[in-house]
Amino acid sequence: MTESLTILVTRPEPGGSATADLLRARGHVPVLAPCLDIEALPATLPYTCDAIVIASAQALPGLPAAWRAIPLFAVGDATAARARDLGFITVESASGTARDLADLVVRQLKPRAAIVLPCGAGHSLELAAALRTAGFRVTRRVVYRSRPAEHLAAAAIAALAAEAVDRVMIFSPATARRFASLIDHESLAGTLRRAIAIAISPAAAAPLARLPFRAIRAAISPDQDHMLAILP
């Protein structure tokens, strides 16, 4: 039987609650501790396109309902599942990185296809460049931005202060940097000595190195499924 773990989930909403539900179904005790706040931004989008390319589920809520029938290519399985939940009919997952996503689009779409790439502020620039180099007509639009959370959630502070946290799930380098800053601000570094950090990638693990975790594990592929695989 799988050991029940108390797990801090630092992912912002709406993904944080979805991850918490998944952990709860596996018998764990999730504690939401979002380290970034997501703000939707107004964006002028084309009337239509040949395909939508998504590198983060945070970009999905801002897409018009009229686009549900347009083929959508997602960076990973969780993002693809979120798109299907929102009503997108034709969804394919690259099950990997932005580079894998670009490769999938190249294999599946005809040259000169018109692609819309909704993304966060400062995100997906390399992906857009790679798709343009491959011959696609890419419209990149910023539909959200992330801001550092001002405080750790009260429940997270309480769990850390009680030294009850077994794992901390970190979903991006920006989240890792903000988590480290918030831990310093709350003088909680010492409470991490029995906890293990679960990072989505080596880049997300790097900012955690100065914190006294018992161990820091990085997923071999940057997605939630591979993070879950290294929880025990």
For the chain, give the percent of residues with pLDDT over 70: 99
Domain harbouring 82, CATH code: 3.40.50.10090
Convert 160-198 to b/e letters by CB count within 10 Å (16 or more is b).
Answer: beeeebbbbbbbbbbbbbbbbebbeeeebeebbeebbbb
Token code pair at residue 12: 């912002």
Sorting pLDDT into bands at 50, 70 and 90, what band is 222? confident
Q: What is the pLDDT of residues 76-101, one digit of tens each?
A: 888 999 999 999 999 999 988 899 99
pLDDT band at residue 27 under the 50/70/90 scheme: very high
Whether 164 maps to a domain, the answer reads yes
- Mean pLDDT, all residues of the chain: 94
Give Rg (Cα) of the chain: 18
Q: Two tokens at 71?
A: 């083929």
Average pLDDT estimate for 22-51: 94
- Answer yes or no: is pLDDT of 7 > 90: yes
Whether 138 and 190 map to the same domain: the answer is no
Based on the domain organization, do 47 and 130 belong to the same domain?
yes
Provide the H-helix boundaries in 49-172. 77-85, 98-108, 125-133, 154-161
Name the DSSP letter for residue 2. P
- Looking at the structure, do residues 29 and 111 belong to the same domain, yes or no? no
Q: Is the pLDDT of residue 221 over 90?
A: no
What are the backbone dihedrals phi and psi of residue 175, each rounded to the nearest 5 degrees, phi first? -65, -40
Q: Which pLDDT score, from 0 to 100, does residue 96 have?
A: 84
At 1 the pLDDT is: 53
User: Could you give the number of structural domains in the chain?
Assistant: 2
Note whether 217 and 189 are same-domain residues: yes
pLDDT at 14 over 80: no
Q: What is the pLDDT of residues 167-198, one digit of tens each?
A: 999 999 999 999 999 999 999 999 999 999 99
Query: Coil, helix or strand for 31?
Result: strand
**pTM, rounded to two decimals:** 0.83
d(CA 224, CA 232): 14
82 and 106, same domain (yes or no) = yes
The percent of residues above 90 in pLDDT, for the chain, comes to: 87
Claim to verify: residue 142 and residue 43 sit in the same structural domain? yes
Residues 115 and 43 placed together within one structural domain of the fold: yes
Q: Which of 116, 146, 176 is the last residue of a domain?
A: 146
Provide mean pLDDT across the span 62-85: 92
Q: Which of 120, 109, 105, 101 is nearest to 37 (CA)?
A: 120
- The whole-number pLDDT of residue 181 equals 97
Distance CA 35, CA 204 (A): 13
- Does pLDDT of 73 surpass 90? yes
CA-based end-to-end distance of the chain:
11
129: pLDDT confidence band, cut at 50, 70 and 90? very high
| Residue 97, pLDDT score | 87
User: What are the CA-CA distances from residue 1 to residues 4, 81, 127 (Å)?
Assistant: 9, 28, 42
Q: Is the pLDDT of residue 29 over 80?
A: yes
Cβ atoms of 119 and 140 within 8 Å: the answer is yes
Indicate whether 200 belongs to any domain. yes
1 lies in some domain = no
End-of-domain residue from the set 108, 125, 146: 146
**Virtual torsion, Cα 3, 179, 175, 170, nearest 10 deg:** -10
E strands, the chain, in order: 6-9, 29-32, 36-40, 51-54, 72-74, 91-93, 114-120, 137-148, 167-170, 196-199, 215-218
Residue 60 φ then ψ, to 5°: -70, -45
- Expressed in percent and rounded to 5, the helix, strand and coil fractions of the chain are 35, 25, 40
Last residue of a domain, one of 97, 122, 146: 146
